[in-house]
Structure 1
Amino acid sequence: MSLTQIGISGLQASQTSLNVASNNIANAETEGYSRQRVYWFPTYTLHPGVGTKGTGVNASSVDRIANSFLTAQMWESQSLAEKTATFSGYIDSLDQWLGDDSTSLTSGLESFFTTLNGATVDPYSSAARQVILSESNKLAQQFTTLNNQIVGHQGLAGRQLEASVAEANGLLANIAGFNDQLKKISASGEVANEMLDQRDLAVKELSKLMGINVLEQPDGNLNIYLKSGQPLLIGDQRNSLSVTGSASHPDGFSLAFESDSASLQVHGDPGGSIGGILNYQNGTLRQAQNEIGRLAVVIASTINAQLRLGEDVNGNSGVDLFSDLTNPASGIFSLDVASTSVSDMRITDSSQLKASDYDLRVDNTGNYVITRLSDGVQFSGSLSGAGTDTLSFDGVEIDINGAATDQAYRLSPVRYGARDIDAVLTEPFALALAAPGSGVADNSNLQTILQLQNDALIEGQSSLTESYTRFIGDIAVQTSQAKTEADGGKKLFEQAEASRNAYSGVNLDEEAANLLRFQQLYSANAQVISVARQTFDSLLRMF
């Protein structure tokens, strides 16, 4: 190898390094870009009996600086950050409008009982009675408004879930495409560093939406799985996700795994923003609907029951002021087509009601388990095998075929109370404010109803207002905790991203130094070529 050829190899290597350093600098702010580095290898010729003789340098290999562990750590922390941030955003909105004075049940309850108290002066007064009916209607509407807002949040969560799932499916398609292209490029012996960066960036975007496990294969493909194990992507073969259910479904919206052979509901926490949405829907939002629904059921049932014990101005027995919520048939949901055995559900003791849904399971031998979903408490036993059995739990009774087997139900005794409450009494003189036989000027029954404001109607421990205030306080605490977790998740992700960028990102100071170093190498190799030419010219002049 001549001196000129050695110089040319050095010149070419220096040029390649200058190009790579320039490319690194140009992409310093490109999201997901991994800096590249040129590897120089000495070339030589082997001379038998003598050894090797250097023939220059080769710099054809341009490597991508990446660390799979740091990258995976970044994806994992991003899933957590997005999950906590999404949940925090939703619950913060819930906390704000639940605590708003214009929608607060506290002011509505106080106004209702204040009106009742005002009627004690002259219980026969038609005007006072009409005000009671108006306030009853206003209170019922307030419950309905709160429920509608919760349903609106459920719809919003569902739309966001559908958008996120569509985005996830699009990203999986992109990653599958990258897998296919990279496999072909790899088979040809070429490199595609920028495409590897684009694929990793697509995986990063996917990790915002859900928690994933990513496994790199020997051929360079990435296989991607849900945390629950379902394969989303195997090479360039992909499955997909879908959204099932609705705002009115007992489970709300759910995430489903779709393959060519099956459609399966994804159980557990999928992580990412999708996990944040589902956690909000299945946890806090459902809790809110049950809490407000329970209050509606308790106030309607207790006031109605007391009014039935009284007498109106015409000497008639009292009738209901509010709609009867003690037979919540709309709260019985069969979870499969074979479940047809529950015929009725009724509330027998509103003071024992829990703000919860329940799952009922009957096995193939007639053994049943009722699970309170808010805390996992169970009620179990065996059906009689014949006739109609009555099962009791938490102030609720259900009728079920005693010979039933293999049944699955969701029971929601209070969940729709705020939706269904209504002020049904329209005749002022039909209000039974007097005790039986005491005359039209008597307000004894009205006084008893007024006492309900301070009675421990909720689980025998809290008044209506105390229960609602405690619920609002619990939401505020959860909101604060969610914000703390979101801040922690954000910091964790920022640290993981910083670690990845410190290893794979572009350091402008380092690249500027590289430019100067490679420029000097280029000049030095050019000088080698110049010396070679001068030497050759001197040699020619000797002849």
Structure 2
Amino acid sequence: MGNGILDIAVTGLATAQNQLLTTSHNISNAGTPGFNRQQVLLSTNTPQSGGAGFIGRGVHSSTVQRIYSQFLTTQSLQIQTQSQSLDSNYTEIKQLDNMFAEATSGLSPTLQNFFSAIHDVATNPGVIPSRQSMLSNADALVARFHSMDQRMSQIREGINTQVSSTVVHINSLAKQIGEINKQIIWAEGSAGGQPANDMLDQRDELINQLNKLVNTDTVRQSDGTMNVYIGNGQALVVGAQILSLEAIKTPDSPNNLTIGLVNGNSTIQLPEDQITGGTLGGIFSFRSNTLDNAQNSLGRVALTLAQTFNAQHQLGMDLNGAMGTNFFALPAPNVISASTNNLASNISTSITDYSALTTSDYELSYDGTNYTLTRLSDNVSATPSSSLPLTLDGISVTSATMLASERFRIQPTINGAKDIAVNINDTTKIAAAGPNRTNAASTNKGTGTISAGTVNPLPLDSNLQQPLTITFHTPYNGQFDVAGTGTGLPATNQTYTAGTDISFNGYTFQISGSPAAGDVFTVTPNNNGVADNRNMLLLGALQATNTLENGTANYQTAYGQLVSQVGNKTRELQVTSKAQANLLAQTEQSIQSVSGVNLDEEAANLLRFQQAYQASSKIIEMSSTLFDSILRFG
């Protein structure tokens, strides 16, 4: 009897000690990140059969269990990676929003100053200081385009730096997870399959940190290891085997770094659209959906401004009596050859319609028979063709030397704001005047009047400044003759309709009223037209002319749309990021309510287990007394 009681007391003492140790362990790790509260699971020993029935033989500790909810943990990982993605996206876009929202450093005031200077030249076309002010404001406008584009390029470089540092961190965490997988196999194997709780907590915390960087999925194996997958199922850790990532240049956009999976001596690019969570997912989303579009949008405004201004400037005449030249230097589309292309392969591109430009990039591919030009924002393609040119959205591929399966990326607007420049530095070369002037002969007897006229759109007619003479028939029969040099001249027996366009030599004018027999009107070169401001008025009118998005937006409107898009997206991310953070906090609170250490509860457990320990000790003491009595009276 004494030995039986003693054995039972010893089991109680041992289990109480295990409970005290586990409770002390919980209390010590109350502030340890990722620690899950543990408890000792008890089981009764196999009872002994006797004449009076089954007599209990005490208790034993079957295992030490983590208080852990797989459901809540999985839910937390999903919410956390989305929250981290939103946070990183918001952090990046806030930089853009701050730049566009700055009232004094944005594009709008500089653009307004430039056109105000144009209006000043229109008021004082022969005044050199007014012309100098126009050039100075043009330089300021170009500088503003450059500074805004440079800021976006700096943001892009910052993203590349983040990608590189994040990849290093991911590889480090993957290595630690692989190492702890090996330790768990050894520890649980040597302990007869008992769970290595603290190691499991450490591994979960490493996965939690990895999940903040990139969307992570896990699969537990029968040997206790955890396989880790990122993105849409790319293995990163398989048991103790570790695969590493590398930051590589995007083959179709060398200015961007992306993620590659190291496979032996080669590196395979992982599709960015499959990396949807964590810091990486957030910055990739920002770069592809916001930064690229913003830089292209700003470049489109710069390109269209330069092209439309140049086109009108060439229709005027400067102070030297020469036709206008390009006022701005116009950047060409940026073409990137895929890294797998033959070095000798190349294409030639041009912009044929600036009003049709979008903010997308394009891809030209060749299957050996047909060329395909695709808009990458929505994968819409022009009809494939076996010959060139091939045109889509004003982008024309005029020639190509390509092999089958090769491709080129075309970025028509990406460098617009970066490379725009003022092409004129001489105030006398500003083409403020119209190249021709019209006159009615002083001897005319009718009431007919002739308009100042306008130059037809480019290309210029080589006979633009050849004199024209319009003479109405005598006797008057509603017809006139046009004398001069040029295509279709001389022209006789032209029917007169008041106010109708009359076009010769690339110049259009109207005659109104009632001319009389023999009345004469002339179109002559505008020699010494210092005070003429007709072309400058047309240049100033471009500010309010819808020249972008197929004639639906002007410079200011298009820029305003960009500012509005960035501002609205910033606000959206601010709200959703905050909501996701609140949801994550609630989920973590739920996890803590299940797995967290409650110091009050643990203190109560200490007292309870201490009493159990003391009670078992008392039984041992009683067992000793009973055994002594038996020996004494035996």
Residues 47-66 of structure 1 aligned to structure 2 (within 5 Å): 52-59=54-61, 61-66=63-68
Aligned to 1:132: 134
Moved more, 48-57 or 213-222: 48-57
Q: 1:48 to 1:152 in 2, by over 3 A?
A: same
- The residue matched to 1:61 in structure 2 has which SS? strand
Residues 58-457 of structure 1 aligned to structure 2 (within 5 Å): 58-59=60-61, 61-189=63-191, 191-245=195-249, 249=253, 252-260=256-264, 262-267=266-271, 268-270=273-275, 271-325=277-331, 327-328=332-333, 330-338=334-342, 342-366=346-370, 368-384=371-387, 389-401=388-400, 405-436=404-435, 437-438=525-526, 439-457=529-547
| Ranges of 4+ aligned residues in structure 1 off by more than 6 Å | 48-51
Please point out which of 554, 559, 574 is paired with 1:483: 574
* TM superposition shift of 1:403: 8.0
**Distance in 2 (alpha carbons) for counterparts of 1:279 and 1:339:** 32
* TM superposition shift of 1:169: 0.5
* TM superposition shift of 1:504: 1.9
Q: RMSD value over aligned CA atoms? A: 2.1
* TM superposition shift of 1:263: 1.7
* TM superposition shift of 1:501: 2.3
Q: 1:137 to 1:128 in 2, by over 3 A?
A: same
Contact 1:361 1:406 in 2 (8 A): yes
Contact 2:373 2:391 in 1 (8 A): no
User: Residue by residue, what CA displacement relative to the aligned partner does 1:443-481 show, whole Å, maximum 9, x if unpaired?
Assistant: 000000000000001120111011111110111110111
Contact 2:349 2:399 in 1 (8 A): no
User: Residue by residue, what CA displacement relative to the aligned partner does 1:395-418 show, whole Å, maximum 9, x if unpaired?
Assistant: 221113488632311111111101
- The residue matched to 2:543 in structure 1 has which SS? coil
User: Residue by residue, what CA displacement relative to the aligned partner does 1:64-101 show, whole Å, maximum 9, x if unpaired?
Assistant: 22232322222222111101110011111210112112
User: Residue by residue, what CA displacement relative to the aligned partner does 1:303-346 show, whole Å, maximum 9, x if unpaired?
Assistant: 11111111111111111111023x33x33444532386553111
**Distance in 2 (alpha carbons) for counterparts of 1:471 and 1:81:** 26
- Given the alignment of the two structures, is residue 522 of structure 1 paired with residue 613 of structure 2, yes or no? yes
**Structure 1 residue identity aligned to 2:362:** Y
Aligned to 2:38: 36
- Given the alignment of the two structures, is residue 472 of structure 1 paired with residue 563 of structure 2, yes or no? yes
Contact 2:252 2:409 in 1 (8 A): no
* TM superposition shift of 1:538: 3.4
Moved more, 157-166 or 405-414: 405-414
Please point out which of 587, 604, 607 is paired with 1:513: 604
Contact 2:349 2:396 in 1 (8 A): yes
* TM superposition shift of 1:105: 0.6
Give the unaligned 5+ runs of structure 2: 436-524
- The residue matched to 2:46 in structure 1 has which SS? strand
- The residue matched to 1:296 in structure 2 has which SS? helix
Q: 1:158 to 1:296 in 2, by over 3 A?
A: same
- The residue matched to 1:520 in structure 2 has which SS? helix
User: Residue by residue, what CA displacement relative to the aligned partner does 1:24-48 show, whole Å, maximum 9, x if unpaired?
Assistant: 1221121100111111122235559
TM-score (norm 1): 0.94
Q: 1:403 to 1:243 in 2, by over 3 A?
A: closer
**Distance in 1 (alpha carbons) for counterparts of 2:416 and 2:400:** 26
Contact 2:360 2:411 in 1 (8 A): yes
**Distance in 1 (alpha carbons) for counterparts of 2:269 and 2:97:** 30
**Distance in 2 (alpha carbons) for counterparts of 1:428 and 1:89:** 45
Alignment size in residue pairs = 536
Q: 1:218 to 1:49 in 2, by over 3 A?
A: farther
Moved more, 249-258 or 402-411: 402-411
* TM superposition shift of 1:3: 1.3
Aligned to 1:538: 629
**Distance in 1 (alpha carbons) for counterparts of 2:429 and 2:616:** 107
Contact 1:251 1:282 in 2 (8 A): no
Q: 1:403 to 1:237 in 2, by over 3 A?
A: closer
Contact 2:353 2:395 in 1 (8 A): yes
Q: 1:511 to 1:403 in 2, by over 3 A?
A: closer
**Distance in 2 (alpha carbons) for counterparts of 1:364 and 1:503:** 63
- The residue matched to 1:2 in structure 2 has which SS? helix
Moved more, 74-83 or 283-292: 74-83
**Distance in 1 (alpha carbons) for counterparts of 2:289 and 2:405:** 27
Which has a greater percent of strand?
Answer: 2
User: Residue by residue, what CA displacement relative to the aligned partner does 1:173-218 show, whole Å, maximum 9, x if unpaired?
Assistant: 0000001111111221254211111111000000000111100000
TM-score (norm 2): 0.81
- The residue matched to 1:381 in structure 2 has which SS? coil
Q: Report sequence identity in percent.
A: 33
**Distance in 2 (alpha carbons) for counterparts of 1:456 and 1:419:** 23
**Structure 1 residue identity aligned to 2:56:** G
Moved more, 413-422 or 389-398: 389-398
Contact 2:341 2:406 in 1 (8 A): no
Contact 1:362 1:404 in 2 (8 A): yes
Moved more, 369-378 or 131-140: 369-378
Contact 2:348 2:400 in 1 (8 A): no
Contact 1:322 1:423 in 2 (8 A): yes
**Structure 2 residue identity aligned to 1:305:** A
**Distance in 1 (alpha carbons) for counterparts of 2:335 and 2:264:** 35
- The residue matched to 2:111 in structure 1 has which SS? helix
**Distance in 2 (alpha carbons) for counterparts of 1:519 and 1:314:** 106
Q: 1:246 to 1:230 in 2, by over 3 A?
A: closer
Which has a greater percent of helix?
Answer: 1
Aligned to 1:463: 554
**Distance in 2 (alpha carbons) for counterparts of 1:44 and 1:335:** 72
Moved more, 8-17 or 253-262: 253-262
Contact 1:335 1:409 in 2 (8 A): no
Larger Rg computed on CA atoms: 2
**Distance in 2 (alpha carbons) for counterparts of 1:220 and 1:73:** 21
Moved more, 264-273 or 153-162: 264-273
- The residue matched to 1:41 in structure 2 has which SS? strand
* TM superposition shift of 1:373: 2.4
**Structure 2 residue identity aligned to 1:396:** I
- The residue matched to 1:311 in structure 2 has which SS? coil
* TM superposition shift of 1:509: 3.1
**Distance in 2 (alpha carbons) for counterparts of 1:311 and 1:30:** 79
**Distance in 2 (alpha carbons) for counterparts of 1:517 and 1:402:** 85
Moved more, 449-458 or 46-55: 46-55
Contact 2:346 2:402 in 1 (8 A): no
**Distance in 2 (alpha carbons) for counterparts of 1:419 and 1:244:** 25
Give the unaligned 5+ runs of structure 1: none
